[in-house]
Amino acid sequence: MKLLKYITLLLLTFVLISCRNDVKKTVSENEEASHTINNSKKVADETTKKEKNIQLLRDKDYLTESQWQSWLPETLLDMPRSFSQINFMPGLGSCSATYSTGNKRIKFMVIDGAGEKGAGGVGSFKMYSKTDYDTEDEERYKKTRVLEGVRVVESYRKTGNYYSLSMFYGERFGIKIETFELEPHALDLIFTELNLNELKNL
């Protein structure tokens, strides 16, 4: 009789444990499914947002030569502008400039994401804004960081003491800043001096 009770107790314990495991498994599967649904919704929302942004920009006119000229600085870090070019790509708003003193040089290029060809022009800059970089060796590095609330990719190449910043600014502009024979902190100073916020208000 005792043996029968013992066997019955073991069977009940086994059933309870099995039920408990099944419940845990079901809860875990439900949580995983919920997480997948949330991630899918997030991706879908992000895609919809991008598509809306692209359409809004497509319906806008890219900046004119006079608008670029009103923003383009005469000097950067006390270096005079030695060259500039505006809307040099057909059907695409663009501005580039070079500033130099001796061997020291600053170059930048801005692509306007507005207009029919704008989205294609800033595509690589959008990719930069969504990707994390962190690579380094003796000759170069490439890393993602945040500068005044903007995600930027900073690169360095030992040859020519070259530094650069690439970014997608204000959900519209693809920007690349390059320096030659300048210290790395110059990038942050240039970013501030360019007063990029003005571009959004032109």
The band of 169, judged by pLDDT with boundaries at 50, 70 and 90, is: very high
Q: What are phi and psi of 10, to 5 degrees?
A: -65, -45
The mean-pLDDT minimum among 35-44, 59-68, 96-105, 124-133 falls in: 35-44
Can you tell me the mean pLDDT for 53-60? 78
Look at residue 43 in the predicted model and tell me its pLDDT.
44
Please tell me whether residue 51 adopts helix, strand or coil conformation: helix
Look at residue 128 in the predicted model and tell me its pLDDT.
79
- Residue scoring higher pLDDT (46 or 154): 154
Q: Tell me the pLDDT tens digit for each residue of 33-55.
A: 555 555 555 444 555 655 666 77
Q: State pTM to two decimals.
A: 0.74
Q: Is the pLDDT of residue 82 over 60?
A: yes
Quote the percentage of the chain above a pLDDT of 70.
73
**CA of 164: how far to CAs of 23, 98, 185, in Å?**
55, 14, 11
**Domain residue extents for the chain:** 1-59, 65-200
Burial class (CB in 10 A: 0-12, 13-18, 19+), 187: buried
E strand intervals along the chain: 75-76, 79-86, 94-101, 104-112, 134-136, 140-147, 150-157, 162-169, 173-180
